[in-house]
Homo-oligomer: A and B are copies of this chain.
Amino acid sequence: MSAGFRHVAVIGLGLLGGSVARAVGQYLPDAVTTGYDASPEVRARARELGLADTIAETPGEAVAQADLVVLCVPVGAMGPAARALAADLPAGALVTDVGSSKASVMRALTEALPDHAVIPAHPVAGTEQSGPDAGFATLFRNRWCIVTPPADADPARVADLVAFWEALGARVETMDAEHHDLVLAVTSHLPHLIAYTIVGTASDLEEVTQSEVIKYSAGGFRDFTRIAASDPTMWRDVFLSNRDAVLEMLQRFTEDLTGLQKAIRKGDGDTLFEHFARTRAIRRGIIEMGQDDARPDFGRSDHNGAR
């Protein structure tokens, strides 16, 4: 299942990189792991945590013996990170990443590493936490990982990368980078943009205090705040790198919102009811696919009152 990778280098040791390093340690115990992060503080903390067998002081040192390199930096930093390790990268090493947008990452990595095998990927998993302490080995279990091979990719190397992610517990799909970016624009990027917006709107109000917003957040708002607590650098880069797909989805969302706004203004209860009733089916699909917790409120509420 390890697909023959004997030395995995992880570049960037935040939530995702820390989780990849931990997962390799747990599920591929025969593989050697090296790690690197541009921040000296993160490298020091990664050593304390034992995130990888070795935490290197330079990206070149981290990848010098690697047959798989996993770039776990914000998507805007992928090109510079790849250039920084290019000189030391073994000829046969496979380079992949975990970024949330794929067409721009594909371009950046193939430009930076024209002589190496590059197959981008995106594990659709995460939490609102960030930093080297936030990761955990089971982050990818039962989550989807989307592999986006270039048109000319070697099928054997694609199979190696698929096997790697399966070994870490993920279910894997392959698709082209452009379709990935459209799918994720609606399932992830637009939800984050909207959550960031409404949390900002709420914190700017004068008639309603911030303390009131916080107090009464259990009515729905708190779920948006979780999403809007995600890493700002990562998300800035996602919106800049997947601009066209995000703006397209945003346009459609705005049209639909205007329709419901009009229904509220006109007092058109039938339109509202019809819309609210049909969105339930999607929720059922998500529960059935095992992509969320069916317990009411995700089990936040303790039915036994022990909390």
Query: Interface of A with B (CB < 8 Å)?
Result: 76, 100, 124-129, 134, 136-139, 141-144, 146, 169, 173, 179, 182-184, 186-205, 207-208, 210-230, 232-233, 235-237, 239-240, 243, 246-247, 249-250, 252-254, 256-257, 260-261, 264-265, 267, 269, 272-273, 275-286, 289, 291-293, 296-305, 307
CB of A109, distance to nearest CB on chain B (Å) = 20
Q: What are 5 pairs between A and B in contact, CB < 8 Å?
A: A129-B296, A182-B208, A194-B198, A204-B256, A226-B298
B187 touches A219 (CB 8 A): yes
Known: A141-B305, A188-B216. 15 other contacts (CB 8 A): A138-B305, A190-B201, A191-B223, A196-B260, A205-B252, A215-B289, A218-B291, A218-B292, A220-B227, A225-B282, A225-B292, A229-B284, A232-B277, A233-B273, A237-B269
- Point out the residues of chain B lying under 8 angstroms from A144, CB to CB: 215-216, 218
User: B202 to A198, Cβ gap below 8 A?
Assistant: no
Q: Which residues of B contact A303 (CB under 8 A)?
A: 136, 138
Contact between B208 and A186 (Cβ–Cβ < 8 Å)? Answer: yes
* Interface of A (DSSP majority class): helix
Given contacts A217-B292, A227-B223, contact A243 B265 (CB under 8 A): yes
A300 touches B292 (CB 8 A): yes
Assess whether A202 is in contact with B214, with CB atoms less than 8 Å apart. no
| Distance between Cα atoms of A282 and B217 in the complex (Å) | 10
Q: Say yes or no: A138 contacts B191, CB within 8 Å.
A: no
Instruction: Check if B299 sits within 8 Å of A299, measured CB to CB.
Output: yes
CB contacts (< 8 Å) of A136 on chain B: these are 301, 303
Q: Which residue of B lies closest to A199 (CB)?
A: B279
Going nearest first, the 3 A-B pairs with the smallest beta carbon separation are: A188-B219, A127-B296, A232-B276
Once bound together, how far apart are the Cα atoms of A148 and B129, in whole Å?
38
Question: Judging by beta carbons under 8 Å apart, are A226 and B283 in contact?
Answer: yes
User: CA A222 – CA B223 in complex, angstroms?
Assistant: 10
C-alpha spacing A192/B222, complex, angstroms: 11
Are A282 and B186 in touch, CB under 8 angstroms? no
Cβ-defined contact, A279 with B191, below 8 A: no
CB distance from A191 to the nearest CB of B (A): 4
Contacts of A100 in B (CB 8 A): 219
A204 smallest CB distance to B (angstroms): 8
Question: Which residues on the B side are within 8 Å of A143 (C-beta)?
Answer: 218
Point out the residues of chain B lying under 8 angstroms from A179, CB to CB: 207
- The CA of A203 and the CA of B285, in the complex, are separated in Å by 12
B269 touches A197 (CB 8 A): no
Given contacts A201-B252, A298-B226, A299-B299, contact A240 B218 (CB under 8 A): no
* Beta-carbon nearest neighbor of A213 in chain B: B187
Given contacts A215-B291, A267-B240, A301-B127, are A190 and B183 in contact (CB under 8 A)?
no
- In contact, A192 and B220 (Cβ under 8 angstroms): yes
Chain B residues whose C-beta falls within 8 Å of the C-beta of A228 in the assembled complex: 276, 279-280, 282-283
